[in-house]
A and B are shown apart, each in its own frame.
Chain A
């Protein structure tokens, strides 16, 4: 056995390794395939051996072969084997092979889950790293689901190397398993502030990638990114952030305003071109998002354009390219500022680099005006002649058409000129855009009535010279214009000077070589022409001419009847029979012209591009249901020919039969109209660049044969477009002269105002009047068209699934799946344990979101909570074993969660709002606000006790705060906001307020039509304050209903925000309340009834944090007050002093109410039961919308709306001890009457008093 191993290792020495393989392949250039197939056989042998080293070597070789394009999927299982080797060397080979060869459909991937999990938790960081790298390439939805939690744990790994990889891979996990986004997001957000720049960069990377697809969900991160942007020096991070802001600004213009300044600074200061470029880009995005008209922004635009000009003038082609690219973005909104650089851009048109020329072309699009269109197009036409490659020339062609046709031919003053440009473009050989030119011709001819005469003349000449266009097969693309020419000549034949000649031209034998669909148009329009000719000839006395024409038709049409093209054949034979019939009539001297031309009567109107889509589906029409029973199998043979018909471009078919029956004719005309409306060809073709791209590959392969151009390609007899430029110039001059005469006086005045502009000659846009009365027929839309314009996103877009509201707190069901048998697993880093639980504090994010900056404090706090939660976890575990004792706890947690959302989201949103609102709050406002708040505080006793203290100190504090570093700025703003809100609120309620989800509930249940946005409501009120600390209380925000634990007792949770207002450190805070008989502060077991509770954090200067305290309450029918004290140590560099602050907690009766939804039938039953006592209250002079009033009651008094009818609503709430409280609120004029019923009259009385007080301030 030992010998075998030794032998194996010696054998191995002479096995082919990767290098040998490569060398071998290089030495067998002639029979590479054969050599490789022998190598693959060898590899197969090696893979059969037990020795992992041999296998790894084989897999390594396979990876190389895979790169060369050989299929190695058969070795997938061996790759998994090598991946699971314990040695890093082999593991790396395995993972590399996997990352190159595996994809989602590889079935062995599902075998890897446990191996990867093991590697992820490996003590060796490189094992983990390699696993992460590999996983990032082949992660599947299943892997993502199973490993999301493990990867999330790694995001807090001690090694930055692992952290950054884990963070990056989360993006892939999100894509494959979108459910993981919400639970993982808080941690991802934390990583934005990771001490390691690499991790930070990775987090920025991931969030940017996420936000790019669904920016609105990440708006709330803007302040954080803003901070990063102003503090980071890493250009990679900066670029990403700036790009992200570029995506966010369109959603929030205020953000843009805030960004302009720092971005401008960066533009001025940075030396990195990449950063400069991205800054300019984002500034452009900002400027686009801002509504124009802000005067100070012209400076920013100027700056951007200037910088871009520098880029464009740079000798580095890359910068030039990017400069032009960015310029085209400015163009969309601020065309004027770009237009001044026209010289530069025209210069770029001559650049030798095609990409740059293309970009410059893009820019031209926006730079044209009525004034310079002809000039620019002339220049482009020169380029067309010079252009060497077909690709670029085609691009030029489409651009010319784009430029001219943009916004409904806005800039074209002379359509004769445009038609001749189009005709000139037909001279291009080998272009693929014949149909584009054709559709332009059709479009112009149809929509500009005045031009029809000219257009028809031009087209007739084109038709006459069709041989020039079709002479060479290379020029097939361009023969599409004949389609347009024939159609225009036919449809508008009344404008033809010599219809007979054109008719002959259309019936030439050569026509038979054209593509089928063009022949079909020829035949059809020959019939139309025939009708016209007949009409003109019948007017004459000589009837032979008419008969000759018929004979001509009869002679020529058989050629088409024989056509292989079904469409041509059908039309031709129809028309042939028609003409024969006509001839018969003619021979009897019957006047037929009228009737024949009646065949083609009817005016064409252009139809809007989306008209078809917008036709509403008539009621009762189910497009999905079968009209007839589904065809049986046997009929499937018939399907075949149908498909062929469908392929035949039905749009060109206009079947017509020769029944001259009047009724039938009218019907057909109607049908024709209908069909034309549906015919996409009649629609103004929007130039689709997409198509151009689609055909791009492969053009180069078409051999371009040099054509002998001795035959002049110019179509003789056509006016050249250049003439028009001159003519137009003359015309304008004339016009100008006339105008001058007319407005001599007026102008003089103006001139003095406008200065140079007018002296230099060129007239302003408005002065140019089009040469013809252009009447661009507006496009038709179907009656009652649907307004919606839903160009939906690609439903397959994986990012769609990631459109998730991240601000909503997590629900239990959203937690990442965690393996249940954790204990059996390999030891994990200590953070693992906290993992699942640390998500939970986030749920209660209503408050914590306010504190996202204060990691330190939160850490401490979450540790505390973790302990709690751990406890709960254990309890849950026991639950499984059958004990139901803890059930209520879980339930109450849930209610708590339900209650949380509105507060958190509204807080979040308004945070952002505040951050965005630029209005600086002057310090005195803040001061008064604080004072006002203090006055408004619900506890007169507390305030009066402390106010004398606090007031003199206030100004100093604010000053101090203002001098504080910008780090605390946000904090301060937040505080200001709170105070502001309070000020607002103060008007409405004197009493303090209790938060709850009531507001949200109300919206759901009651207010169907939301008339006005609700004013912001907050529930924190000032508890007490001195020069050191400020306490804000949100009392009873969560009411636990724990009947199971405490008989007949209930708990009330009070949240208190402590804010450090001085510039010293606050520590050892102790919170103590003097218990009353009824209400007691819950203290940890073992502590005495008078011991204080330690506040679980310290406060650095300017920071605030929140703590919660639980109170046990016996009776809830009366409001209560509790006296309390906060003691703390103020510590600065040299000294520390003990301080204390007294306060009073006020429990109102409404704080014992829980918002409980109630259905109207249950509500009715409750009222009928007769157990409830009645009471009522009237409020006078309440001047607010009814829904505000309801929202207020819901929000502050924890009611929910049961039903609302006009100005009358029924509301319901339940106390923590199960009392039902029902309200009937009616409003007439300014009087609100509230009839209430409750099974506990005292409670009801108190609640009504409190409601009254809430509104007494209104």
Chain B
């Protein structure tokens, strides 16, 4: 079982977290998460060198020796999966890779900002991969097909009425002041196109 999925950046700011397993399994409250779990995990993960192994035995932090933290570090983000012993460690590493590649496909060159501004979409993509803590699908094409189909449906529902709202939000999106220009994710080097400034 995947007990929890957590994405945070190099400064320990959470970018995504799945909740329920955290709360029910480790009986963590919201406060406890922010005061203990997140900083501890961040502390553990961030102090590790780039070329050490990606497994961490969390011990009491995450509920005993049966649990492990498996993480990957991409550019500015840490993807942390907390799993129990029924999951294959290497398998989960692959899964994280699939997840990131899927994000990359869906957002067309993903960067941290995408995750910041579109948490809901990230959640939706994740929902196609992991459900209730169990791996649902590992085939990237299948995941993307399903995600696309749902987005399509959403668009068709919005129809004409949604058009002005979309236009407005597109305009709003133009002023991303701190939009970085170059983002490296693993081997994938991403160039963010220069957007015309509306200011």
Chain A contact residues, CB within 8 Å of chain B: 9-10, 12-14, 17-20, 22-23, 26, 60, 63-64, 66-69, 71, 87-89, 92-93, 96, 99-104, 124, 126, 129-130, 132-133, 136-139, 161, 164-165, 168-169, 171-172, 198, 201-202, 205-206, 208-209, 212, 235-236, 239, 243, 273-274, 277-278, 317-318, 320-322, 352-356, 358, 693-694, 696-697, 700
Contact = CB atoms under 8 A, between A and B. Distances in A.
A509 B52 CA distance: 51
Given A89-B154, A92-B154, A136 B131 contact: yes
A137 B118 CA distance: 21
Nearest to B30: A69
A13 B168 contact: yes
Q: Which 7 A-B pairs have the closest CB atoms?
A: A136-B132, A274-B90, A317-B53, A353-B52, A693-B59, A321-B53, A137-B20
Given A318-B54, A318-B90, A320-B53, A99 B150 contact: no
B150 A92 contact: yes
Interface stretch (B11-19, B73-81, B100-108, B180-188): B11-19
A88 B18 CA distance: 22
A694 B61 CA distance: 8
Interface in B34-53: 34, 36, 40, 43, 48-49, 51-53
B157 A322 contact: no
B124 A355 contact: no
B193 interface: no
A10 B120 CA distance: 24
A63 B120 CA distance: 8
Given A92-B124, A132-B131, A138-B20, A22 B117 contact: yes
B104 to A, nearest CB: 20
B196 interface: no
Contacts of B61: 696-697
Contacts of B136: 164-165, 168, 198, 202
Contact of B53 (A103, A169, A274, A318): A318
Given A19-B172, A88-B157, A317 B30 contact: no
B89 A322 contact: yes
B51 A317 contact: yes
Contact of A96 (B54, B120, B142, B169): B120
A696 B59 CA distance: 8
A18 B60 CA distance: 36
Residue of A18, A93, A137, A198 with most partner-chain B CB within 10 A: A137
B24 interface: yes
B1 interface: yes
Interface of B: 1, 14, 16-20, 23-24, 30-31, 33-34, 36, 40, 43, 48-49, 51-57, 59-61, 65, 86, 88-91, 93-94, 116-120, 123-124, 127, 131-139, 142, 146, 149-150, 153-154, 157-158, 161, 164-165, 168-169, 172-173, 176, 178
Given A19-B169, A93-B120, A694-B60, A355 B88 contact: no
17 contacts: A18-B120, A89-B157, A92-B150, A93-B120, A96-B120, A96-B124, A129-B146, A133-B132, A137-B20, A168-B132, A198-B137, A274-B94, A277-B88, A318-B54, A321-B55, A696-B61, A697-B60
A22 B157 contact: no
Nearest to B86: A212
B34 A69 contact: yes
Nearest to A57: B165
A1206 to B, nearest CB: 52
Given A14-B168, A100-B19, A205-B134, A133 B57 contact: no
Contacts, number: 183
B44 to A, nearest CB: 10
B2 to A, nearest CB: 11
A136 B128 CA distance: 12
B116 A693 contact: no
Contacts of A89: 153-154, 157-158
Contact of B91 (A10, A88, A101, A236): A236
Contacts of A92: 124, 150, 154
A917 to B, nearest CB: 30
A137 B60 contact: no
Contacts of A20: 172
Contacts of B150: 88, 92, 126
Nearest to B138: A236
Contact of B52 (A165, A273, A352, A697): A352
A60 B119 CA distance: 10
B153 A71 contact: no
B168 A277 contact: no
A352 B53 CA distance: 10
B98 to A, nearest CB: 11
- Overall SS of chain B's interface: helix
A1157 B149 CA distance: 62
A559 B20 CA distance: 57
Contacts of A14: 168
Nearest to A198: B137
A132 B54 CA distance: 32
Contact of A277 (B90, B116, B123, B178): B90
Contacts of A171: 132, 134
Given A103-B24, A239-B88, A318-B93, A64 B119 contact: yes
Contacts of B93: 318
Contacts of A137: 18-20, 132
B114 to A, nearest CB: 11
Contacts of B118: 18-19
B116 A22 contact: yes
B110 to A, nearest CB: 16
A317 B89 CA distance: 13
A322 B90 contact: yes
Nearest to A15: B165
Contact of B49 (A99, A205, A352): A352
Residue of B16, B49, B139, B165 with most partner-chain A CB within 10 A: B165
Contacts of B20: 99-100, 102-103, 137-138
Contacts of B133: 136
Given A88-B153, A318-B53, A697-B60, 17 more contacts: A68-B14, A69-B30, A69-B33, A92-B150, A92-B154, A171-B134, A209-B134, A236-B135, A239-B91, A277-B88, A277-B90, A317-B51, A321-B55, A322-B89, A354-B52, A355-B55, A696-B60
Contacts of B149: 126
Nearest to B90: A274
A364 to B, nearest CB: 17
Nearest to A161: B146
A930 B137 CA distance: 48
A9 B161 contact: yes
A243 B88 contact: yes
A345 to B, nearest CB: 16
Contact of B131 (A60, A100, A165, A352): A165
B26 to A, nearest CB: 12
Contact of B119 (A63, A69, A172): A63
A168 B124 contact: no
Contacts of B134: 168, 171, 202, 205-206, 209
B34 A317 contact: no
A133 B134 CA distance: 11
Contacts of A274: 88-91, 94
Contacts of A353: 48-49, 52-53
Nearest to A273: B90
A318 B89 contact: yes
A355 B56 contact: yes
A232 to B, nearest CB: 14
A8 to B, nearest CB: 11
Contacts of A130: 127
Contacts of B65: 693
Nearest to B95: A236
Contacts of B158: 89
A241 B181 CA distance: 45
Nearest to B164: A13
B132 A169 contact: yes
